[in-house]
């Protein structure tokens, strides 16, 4: 799976997890009554990270394609555009090998983290609670333990750190893009100049 595909997966999973958090927040389950304020705070912060990730990705997509293509991708998260080889190659070229690997690694970590949280919330891929006997009690107990051990803080902090890393990486690359392009232009100019001089020397020789 390419970095572009993983980005689409992450963007699709985040709102599913957000739905699950909202569902838990809205349920008056005995096990969670004392934790409603914590869940509400977690929900707000998670939603903020969602917005930041969306903004970072939109900026990156526009930089490697155009506004229309980026809009189509962001609206249709399961569309074929996320698997487009040319667009994926453009992303790799735009970021550069080292930055692309860092971007890919961060996205992979974030995807795994969200999948784990989705499972803890007992959600299917549509954001619905998986229907099992006494699912509410089971989910409530898992979330209660999750909060008790402060796992939600670890998850939120990890997502935040990854988001900040992606933001810095995206910003740095966008700033470096014109510099790299100018450098390539200068190298191409020097290469053609060398070839021209070589051709002139050969012509003078014969």
73-87 pLDDT, tens digit per residue, is 999 988 999 999 999
Q: Is the pLDDT assigned to residue 176 strictly greater than 70?
A: no
20-32: average pLDDT: 78
CA dihedral 34, 36, 42, 46 (to 10 degrees): 150
CA 87, 67, 60 angle in degrees (round to 5)? 55
Report field, pTM of the whole predicted structure over 0.95: no
Contacts of 18 (CB under 8 A, 6+ apart): 43, 46, 47, 50
Instruction: Kindly state whether residue 185 falls inside one of the protein's structural domains.
Output: no
Q: Is the pLDDT assigned to residue 204 strictly greater than 70?
A: no
Contacts of 166 (CB under 8 A, 6+ apart): 53, 56, 103, 106, 107
Instruction: Kindly state whether residue 114 falls inside one of the protein's structural domains.
Output: yes
- Count of domains for the chain: 1
Instruction: Kindly state whether residue 110 falls inside one of the protein's structural domains.
Output: yes
- Residue 123, SS3? strand
CB of 163 closer than 8 Å to CB of 53: yes
- Domain of residue 167: give its range: 3-176
Instruction: Kindly state whether residue 188 falls inside one of the protein's structural domains.
Output: no
């Amino acid at each position: 799976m390419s970095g572009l595909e993983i980005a689409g997966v992450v963007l699709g999973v985040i709102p599913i997890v957000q739905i699950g958090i909202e569902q838990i927040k809205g349920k008056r389950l005995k096990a969670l009554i004392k934790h409603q304020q914590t869940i509400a705070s977690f929900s707000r912060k998670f939603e903020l990270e969602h917005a930041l990730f969306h903004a970072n990705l939109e900026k990156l997509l526009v930089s490697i394609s155009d506004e229309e293509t980026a809009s189509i991708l962001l609206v249709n998260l399961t569309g074929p555009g996320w698997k487009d080889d040319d667009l994926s190659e453009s992303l790799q070229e735009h970021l550069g090998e080292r930055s692309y690997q860092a971007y890919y690694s961060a996205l992979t970590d974030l995807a795994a983290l969200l999948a784990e949280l989705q499972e803890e919330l007992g959600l299917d891929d549509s954001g619905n609670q998986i229907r099992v006997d006494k699912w509410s009690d089971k989910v409530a107990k898992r979330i209660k333990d999750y909060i008790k051990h402060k796992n939600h803080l670890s998850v939120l902090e990890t997502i935040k750190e990854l988001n900040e890393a992606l933001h810095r990486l995206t910003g740095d690359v966008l700033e470096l893009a014109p510099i790299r392009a100018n450098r390539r232009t200068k190298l191409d100019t020097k290469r053609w100049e060398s070839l021209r001089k070589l051709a002139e020397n050969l012509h003078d020789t014969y």
